[in-house]
């Protein structure tokens, strides 16, 4: 468990940004802990059902590669939730060592909002650890100062609102909308962007109630959103939009179980803060945030288990899923590295070398970025060597690489125009837009 908690302390430096290598590394570090015997709670059973629903949604998603990344993360977060339910008081403070890394992360150019939301989680954890009151005040003041310095008003709103809800006094409740209006006024452009993204998330859900696959929103967001974000800036709405009804129901039941089983008092503040941050931001799509948040939620739970038979079943299922996830992460990591390696000759104008590299990747899980890269490479070969069959294949690959068939989406609009004009240069524009939203660009 100590090694697991050291991972949360090192996470800002090692696994801060959403990336497959970070998830794979964390899975293997957590594996020895998972394979031990653990007590589990009723809420954990619902988490497992949510993960199974996520596997089903991911398997049928046109962007199954992207979607399975979140399934891997969900299993990782489940391990940290279990760690939180079992952690002795003396080791709960270990993740707070990450506070010392925040200034260095800020200096390195990491998005200040991401850093501030992580600092907010550390502040929440600080309220739960057995430190002397004076030390808590000092460290808490430093954390809040750092959040204010980054002008992260959403995080401050979350912490203040969680404190009011935890106090349980109705006379203070009107302060929450007041704080919300203050945060809105201090950064109206960010707030208006959020309202736009949230509307898009609900629209995606309305059009695809069975789910599109996790991390697939970036393929469905229109131009005005896709240029600014890959996420809808609400973990809750992201789950609804991407997981659909199948994931929403067990997620809601897991949330109900967590709230029902919380210990109360200062732990209420922690539960509300973690949930509100998830409702107003994207944080838990980032491994460092999700691991710490799951650990905090685990700390808030009463130390009561379920029946011995149910516990054995849940424990065995979790172990099997985790081992499979670790193996899957290696397969996906290989495909991800192949794509990155093939992108260099593609952008350098050596399509045959790029195709040779891409062919080393696994065909499943389906990866839109890989399909688009192949389509771009084939289009160059077809154009240079006048090969009709290769030309036809490049169009077929790019059509498969577009999960959303919607003219509002720039990549699909370019594809439609390319088909109409039988124009390979326009087809490559469509390919490049898919590559760009997957952070693949010429250097």
CA distance 23 to 17: 10
How does DSSP classify residue 367? -
Using CA atoms, how far residue 276 sits from 162, 269, 439, in Å, is 8, 10, 29
Q: Is the pLDDT of residue 336 over 70?
A: yes
Q: Is the pLDDT of residue 13 over 80?
A: no
Q: Is the pLDDT of residue 226 over 50?
A: no
Please give the pLDDT value at position 76. Answer: 94
Q: Is 90 helix (H, G, I), strand (E, B) or coil?
A: helix
Please give the pLDDT value at position 175. Answer: 75
Q: For Cα atoms 181, 186, 192, give the angle at the middle one, nearest 5 degrees.
A: 75
Give the residue, 111 or 338, on which the prediction is more confident.
338
Please give the pLDDT value at position 42. Answer: 79
Domain with CATH 1.25.40 in the chain: 333-437
Please give the pLDDT value at position 172. Answer: 73
How much is the average pLDDT of 264-284? 89
Cβ–Cβ < 8 Å for 47, 78: yes
Give the residue, 106 or 216, on which the prediction is more confident.
216
Q: Is the pLDDT of residue 341 over 50?
A: yes
Question: Any idea which of 134-143, 147-156, 393-402 has the lowest mean pLDDT?
Answer: 147-156
**Facing residues of 301 across strands?**
262
Please give the pLDDT value at position 244. Answer: 94
Chain-wide mean pLDDT for the chain? 88
- Non-local (6+) Cβ contacts of 115 within 8 A are 12, 102, 105, 106, 146, 150
Q: Is the pLDDT of residue 305 over 80?
A: no
Q: What is the largest CA-CA distance in the chain?
A: 75
Give the residue, 178 or 116, on which the prediction is more confident.
116
pLDDT over 70 percentage in the chain: 96
Question: Any idea which of 282-286, 294-298, 326-330 has the lowest mean pLDDT?
Answer: 282-286
Please give the pLDDT value at position 107. Answer: 78
How much is the average pLDDT of 150-163? 85
- pLDDT band, residue 223 (cuts 50/70/90): low
CA distance 401 to 434: 8
Cβ–Cβ < 8 Å for 237, 230: no
Residue 352 CB neighbours (<10 A): 13
Burial class (CB in 10 A: 0-12, 13-18, 19+), 46: buried
- pLDDT band, residue 122 (cuts 50/70/90): very high
Q: Which fold has domain 333-437?
A: 1.25.40
**Facing residues of 262 across strands?**
301
Max mean pLDDT among 146-150, 221-225, 268-272 falls in 268-272
Please give the pLDDT value at position 189. Answer: 73
- pLDDT band, residue 90 (cuts 50/70/90): confident
Cis peptide before 195, with omega less than 30 degrees from 0?
A: no
Q: Is the pLDDT of residue 184 over 80?
A: no
Q: Is the pLDDT of residue 266 over 90?
A: no
Give the residue, 283 or 422, on which the prediction is more confident.
422
How does DSSP classify residue 129? S
How much is the average pLDDT of 295-302? 92
Please give the pLDDT value at position 3. Answer: 86
Q: Is the pLDDT of residue 439 over 90?
A: no
- Contacts of 53-60 with CB under 8 Å at 24 or more apart are 53/243, 53/246, 53/247, 53/249, 53/250, 54/214, 54/243, 54/247, 56/246, 57/210, 57/211, 57/213, 57/214, 57/242, 57/243, 57/244, 57/246, 57/247, 58/213, 58/214, 58/365, 60/213
Q: Is the pLDDT of residue 225 over 70?
A: no
Provide DSSP, 208-252.
-TT---TT-GGGTS-HHHHTT-SS-S-HHHHHHHHHHHHHHHHHH
| Closest by Cα among 242, 31, 9 to 125 | 9
- pLDDT band, residue 281 (cuts 50/70/90): confident
Please give the pLDDT value at position 412. Answer: 93
Token pair for residue 329? 């992460």
């Amino acid at each position: 468990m100590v090694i697991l908690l050291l991972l949360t302390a090192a996470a800002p430096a090692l696994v801060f940004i959403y990336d497959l290598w970070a998830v794979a590394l964390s899975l293997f570090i957590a594996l020895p802990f998972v394979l031990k015997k653990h007590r589990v709670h009723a809420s954990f059973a619902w988490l497992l059902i949510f993960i199974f629903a996520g596997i089903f949604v991911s398997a049928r998603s046109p962007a199954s590669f992207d979607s399975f990344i979140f399934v891997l993360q969900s299993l990782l977060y489940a391990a940290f939730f279990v760690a939180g339910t079992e952690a002795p008081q003396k080791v709960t403070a270990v993740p707070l060592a990450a506070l010392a890394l925040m200034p260095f992360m800020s200096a390195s150019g990491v998005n200040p909002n991401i850093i501030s939301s992580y600092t907010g989680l550390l502040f929440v954890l600080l309220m739960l650890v057995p430190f002397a009151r004076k030390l808590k005040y000092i460290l808490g003041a430093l954390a809040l100062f750092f959040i204010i310095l980054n002008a992260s008003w959403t995080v401050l709103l979350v912490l203040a609102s969680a404190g009011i809800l935890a106090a349980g006094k109705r006379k203070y409740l009107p302060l929450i909308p007041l704080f919300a209006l203050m945060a809105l006024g201090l950064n109206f452009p960010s707030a208006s962007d959020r309202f736009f993204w949230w509307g898009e998330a609900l629209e995606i859900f309305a059009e695809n109630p069975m789910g599109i696959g996790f991390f697939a929103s970036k393929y469905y967001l229109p131009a005005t959103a896709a240029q600014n974000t890959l996420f809808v800036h609400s973990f809750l709405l992201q789950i609804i939009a991407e997981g659909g009804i199948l994931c929403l129901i067990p997620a809601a039941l897991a949330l109900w179980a967590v709230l029902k089983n919380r210990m109360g008092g200062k732990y209420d503040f922690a539960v509300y803060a973690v949930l509100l941050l998830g409702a107003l931001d994207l944080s838990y799509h980032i491994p460092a945030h999700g691991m710490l948040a799951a650990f905090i939620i685990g700390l808030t739970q009463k130390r009561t288990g379920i029946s011995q038979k149910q516990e054995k079943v849940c424990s065995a299922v979790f172990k099997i899923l985790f081992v499979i996830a670790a193996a899957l992460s290696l397969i996906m990591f290989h495909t991800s590295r192949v794509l990155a390696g093939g992108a260099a000759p593609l952008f350098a104008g050596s399509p045959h070398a790029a195709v040779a590299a891409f062919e080393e990747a696994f065909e499943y899980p389906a990866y839109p970025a890989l399909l688009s890269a192949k389509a771009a490479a084939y289009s160059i070969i077809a154009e240079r060597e006048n090969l009709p069959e290769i030309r036809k294949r490049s169009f077929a690959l790019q059509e498969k690489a577009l999960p959303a068939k919607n003219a509002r989406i720039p990549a699909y609009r370019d594809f439609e125009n390319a088909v109409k004009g039988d124009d390979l240069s326009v087809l490559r524009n469509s390919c490049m837009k898919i590559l760009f939203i997957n952070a693949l660009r010429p250097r």
